[in-house]
Amino acid sequence: MQGGQKSTGKRIIITVVGQDRIGIIAGVTNVLADARINILDISQTIMQEFFTMILVADMTESTVELGELKERLAKKGEELGVQILAQHEDAFRYMHRI
Amino acid sequence: MFSLQEILETITMIQEENLDIRTITLGINIRDCCHPDPAVAQRQIYDKITRLARNLVRVGGEIEDEYGIPIVNKRIAVTPISMVAEASDTEDYVDFARTLDRAAAAVGVNFIGGFSALVEKGMTRGDRRLLDSIPRALAETERVCSSVNVASTRAGVNMEAVAELGEIIVETAQLTAERDGLGCAKLAVFANAPGDNPFMAGAFHGIGEPEAVINVGVSGPGVVKRAVEAAGDVDLGQLAEIIKKTAFKITRMGELVGREAARRLGVPFGIVDLSLAPTPAVGDSVAEVLEAMGLERCGTHGTTAALALLNDAVKKGGAMASSAVGGLSGAFIPVSEDAGMIRAVEEGALSLDKLEAMTCVCSVGLDMIAVPGDTPPETIAAIIADEAALGVANNKTTGVRIIPVPGKEPGDMVEFGGLLGRAPVMPVHGFASTRFIRRGGRIPAPIHSLRN
């Protein structure tokens, strides 16, 4: 990586979108805690009547790979009736930061 | 840290506006596979491709997963086969195509490009044998793509080759008649063909390229269309700015994926091809971008101007987003692969002549055009000659991928399936070009080729 595009290593962005209900944050953060993934930042809002939450997390000490985490989150998402995505932070860094 | 808006913008682009990486294409030099015994040469080609490309599909899948961006195709381009097969003691090159087909299947890629020859100034023995083998090679293989460069700004137009390609295209259509001439969808005829184009059917590993290289093609007409729609009634200068910014963001994803793929495969990163490549999916259409700019239908008056603005803005935005830009880099206007183009043809808004005009200001040329099965080879050659002349005179790449569909007439619909889509059969001019094409020879290079 060059020109200020230093990779942020193991930071990921988790996006949760769906109908608001009790237990969404608890459900998602539990999955992360179980895998020893540290949450760096959480923000949430209601957009077009949909609950939207963004988590920035660090997988440095994670006990699972990103692929496995995505599966666990997708399963939790089904339980909660929301869509949960997890992507490496560089996907956003490349597009929005020069 | 990122704002909520930034994160949702990226996710919306991918999930709702069809932003994807159209292809990561691994270019492989196979010049070192030459051998007098064709069987030995073919074995060496197979071994080299399967060795270098064995991780391509897996690495592509990993990147898709980690960054959450779909990579639609993983493909391979090799040195033009005419140059490699020429050293072998055989006149039939179809077995080389079969070798490529098997290698592509073994590593799990859907297309492999490079059953190609560069004949803009003349043909060697190997070039001639390759051209003779094209119809059968395309009929008897699944994944092999062929391309022939028949013209360049430096050399002019090789009209002998153009005339021959007219015959080859008709023969290929006939050999694949039961699949509506599908073989022709795997054959591109070029002027000024680039050696680092990642898109099929025209990809080959060019002369002057390294041993192996990763080239990336991005896509995102849907994202541009949404940005144009959201802009409202701004003037065209402001619209160009908006398209530039959007193209920048799209291209950054290509840059990220290209770098990562190259790093993980241990080969150099070549270029990002800044093309707007449509797919048959609704909303993923270049024609719809032009319509969003304010044209009732793509193909009406003003279409060429709108496309020129779009193409230029995509290049300007994209060029700033990537360390190396190359390939075709511009808006593609394939008829069968673009739902908006298909509709425009069906409604009588878009003709072959207008498409030809549009190719003056965007990348490639007459792409995925279905014409009646009884179109004479000389007429097809003349269509190629027109496109080649445009490319040569304007110092740009142009190409022709045309399918004379056996047994079909104007107004019929042909289904190719998958990314190749469906094409309405378009009428061609009935007046003959035969005498002009049969003159043969070469159209000399234009005066502006003398640049030294």
Domain edges within chain B: 215-370+393-447
- Domain assignment of residue A5, yes or no: no
| Three-point CA angle B449, B204, B219, nearest 5° | 95
Indicate the pLDDT class of residue A98, thresholds 50, 70 and 90: confident
**Residues belonging to chain A with any Cβ–Cβ distance to chain B shorter than 8 Å:** 1-3, 13, 15, 41, 43, 45, 47, 52, 54, 56, 66-67, 70, 85-88, 90-96
Give the span between the Cα atoms of B42 and B21, in whole angstroms. 31
pLDDT (tens digit, 9 = 90+) per residue, B228-237? 999 999 999 9
Q: Which of A67, A90, A92 minimises the CB distance to B7?
A: A92
CATH (domain of A21)? 3.30.70.260
Residue B85 pLDDT: 98
Which residue(s) pair with A42 in the sheet? Answer: A55
Report the alpha-carbon distance of residue B89 to residue B91 in Å, rounded.
7
Q: Which of B124, B126, B29, B22 is nearest to B75 (CA)?
A: B22
Region of poorest pLDDT, from A12-26, B73-87, B131-145: A12-26
Q: Give me the number of domains chain A comprises.
A: 1
Rounded CA-CA distance B271/B198 in Å is: 9
Which range among B65-69, B116-120, B375-379 shows the weakest confidence by mean pLDDT? B65-69
| ipTM for the complex shown | 0.83
Instruction: Quickly count: other Cβ atoms within 10 Å of residue B135's Cβ.
Output: 24
The CA distance from A95 to the nearest CA of chain B, in Å, is 5
In this structure, is residue A6 part of a structural domain? no
| Position A6 pLDDT exceeds 60 | no
Q: Do A95 and B253 touch (CB under 8 A)?
A: yes
State the architecture of B215-370+393-447 in CATH terms. Alpha-Beta Barrel (3.20)
| pLDDT value at A4 more than 70 | no
CA distance A94 to B21: 14
Query: Which residue in the set A45, A85, A94 is minimally distant from B256, CB to CB?
Result: A94
The reported pLDDT for the residue numbered B124 is 97
Decide if pLDDT at A1 tops 50.
Answer: no
pLDDT tens, B304-318?
999 999 999 999 999
